[in-house]
Amino acid sequence: MNQVLVLNQDYQAISLVDVQRAFILILLNKANTVEAYEDVKLRSVKEEFDFPSVIRLNSYVNLPFKKISLTRQNVFRRDGNKCVYCGSRERLTLDHVIPKAQGGRTVWNNMVTACYKCNSRKGDLSLKEAGMTLKVKPFRPSFIMFLSQFSGRVDDSWKPYLLMS
């Protein structure tokens, strides 16, 4: 309950902020509360305020397309920190689905999380040559997907705005 989902004026999720920052945006009339916790209130000496879980900016903020960097940790995170071949969570590494030796590139759609054992078994072979299959097809994750995963939790009130309902 320490983070608040921030929506642009068009209701597109753009970030997470702490409750203090969200409350300041509301007090300065830069944002409005869209969703609030019913059982929790923010109190001052004289007033009581809703405890926001989702706020919406009053003015549209033009943001460039947010691209997720292709890093080892982001590939692991996308694949749920488990091998896409056998499901193991031990000794994880990265694997090129189409091996570099066969012209495979280092891009989101060709990179997967693999345990050391499966990665060694596959080597520089194609999936067909190695007799292996992917449990999950690799893909470029969206910013919204990572926004929800980085928070460590997804509040139920956020789900309609994160396209997860």
- Please tell me what DSSP assigns to residue 15: E
Task: Please check whether residue 104 lies inside any domain of the structure.
Answer: yes
Task: Please check whether residue 135 lies inside any domain of the structure.
Answer: no
Q: Residue range 25-37: average pLDDT?
A: 94
Domain housing 94: 72-130
Q: How many domains does the chain have?
A: 2
Tell if the pTM clears 0.75, that is, is over it. no
Given a contact cutoff of 8 angstroms between Cβ atoms, the answer to whether 162 and 154 are in contact is yes
Of 75, 62, 51, residue with least CA distance to 9: 62
Q: Which CATH number goes with the domain that contains 125?
A: 1.10.30.50
Tens of pLDDT, residues 36-69: 988 888 888 888 888 899 999 999 998 877 778 8
Q: Is the pLDDT of residue 165 over 60?
A: no
Given a contact cutoff of 8 angstroms between Cβ atoms, the answer to whether 102 and 124 are in contact is yes
Of 160, 142, 153, residue with least CA distance to 74: 142
H/E stretch holding 60 reads none
Tens of pLDDT, residues 116-148: 999 999 999 999 999 999 998 999 887 777 766
Q: Where are the alpha helices (DSSP H) in 48-141?
A: 72-78, 116-122, 127-130
Do 121 and 148 fall into the same domain? no
Task: Please check whether residue 39 lies inside any domain of the structure.
Answer: yes
Long-range contacts of 24-28 (CB under 8 A, 24+ apart): 25/55, 25/57, 26/52, 26/55
